[in-house]
Each structure stands twice: as C-alpha cells, then as structure tokens.
Amino acid sequence: MISLDTIDRQVLRALSEDATQSASALGRRFGLSQPAMWKRIRRLEEAGVLAGRRLKLDAEALGFGVTVFLGVKLGTKGRVSLEDFERAVRAIPEVQTVEHVLGLYDYRLRVVARDIADFERVLRRRIMTLPGVGDVEANVLLSEERRPGPLG
C-alpha cells in the first residue's frame, strides 16, 4: 500500500478540485521543483490513487433539471441474472451511475432527467422494464456536496 506524506495529501486535494494544474504550478504552490512534483504525481498515478479525471458540467444549465436516486430491488421470482440486469441498465443513457450494494436494495442508480415528467417517462419505459426489476424507491436530489475525505 502506498504511504502518503503531507505534501502528497495536499496535492491530491488540489487535483481533486482542479486536475488541470501543471506540475510546475503545483510545485510552486507547495515549495517543490517541477521535476520533484512531477515524480510525486506520477507515483500517485502508478499506485492507482489518481484514477482518471471527470469533467464537471452544470447539469441544470444543460437542461437536466432533475436528478433522482433509485434504490432497486431485484425480484425473487425465477432466477434473476445480475449480468442481464447490469448490461441493460448500463445501456440507458439517463443512468449516470450504477452501484451494486448490500442492504435494503440490490442496486443504487443515479438518473438524470429534464424534469419530473421526463423522469416518469424514463422510470416507466426504461427502468420498470429492466430484466428482474422488483421494488423501486425514488428520492429526488435537492443538493449535494463532495468533501475532501480523509486527506488531513
């Protein structure tokens, strides 16, 4: 397991806010040379800690006014294939994330829609017709914030 010092943690935190910062800019900010900073970033990438990038878009400005989280329970009738469900759910463009979970539900889905009417269409035509789908619970997202996590 990779061990992190204070500078590594600060760099991770800085990159999780803005991944486009260069090694020289980060080096200046945290008092390291460009090659030394580059080496640190490379090490974090190689250890898999820095696992890609994500574009942050304003969903609402792009016409997606509603985000809904669905808890989905698979039916118990017959044999339900997780693979079939997962393949079908991933193909729905409005489904942004699919998490396989343990507990009250089997899957947790993040779904975007233009408005509540559009969400209802996605729910009825796409989600309720998925293979094996049983109980579905919907919660409409009001706000969300990502925290820096245990980075000190």
Give residues in contact with another protein (CB under 8 A): 1-2, 4, 12, 15-20, 47-59, 61-62, 64, 69, 71, 86, 89-90, 93-105, 107-108, 110, 112, 137-150, 152
| Residue 62 or 128 with smaller CB distance to another protein | 62
Pairing of strands 107-113, 66-74: antiparallel
Which one-letter DSSP state was computed for residue 73?
Answer: E
- Shortest Å, Cβ 91 to another protein: 10
Sign of the CA dihedral with 89 first, then 19, 62, and 70 last: positive
SS3 at position 2? coil
Which residue(s) pair with 74 in the sheet?
A: 133
Length of the chain: 152
- Shortest Å, Cβ 28 to another protein: 18
Tokens of 116: 């509540």
| Residue 55 or 117 with smaller CB distance to another protein | 55
| Residue 16 or 34 with smaller CB distance to another protein | 16
- Shortest Å, Cβ 141 to another protein: 6
- Shortest Å, Cβ 148 to another protein: 8
HSE toward the beta carbon, residue 117, CA cutoff 13 A: 0
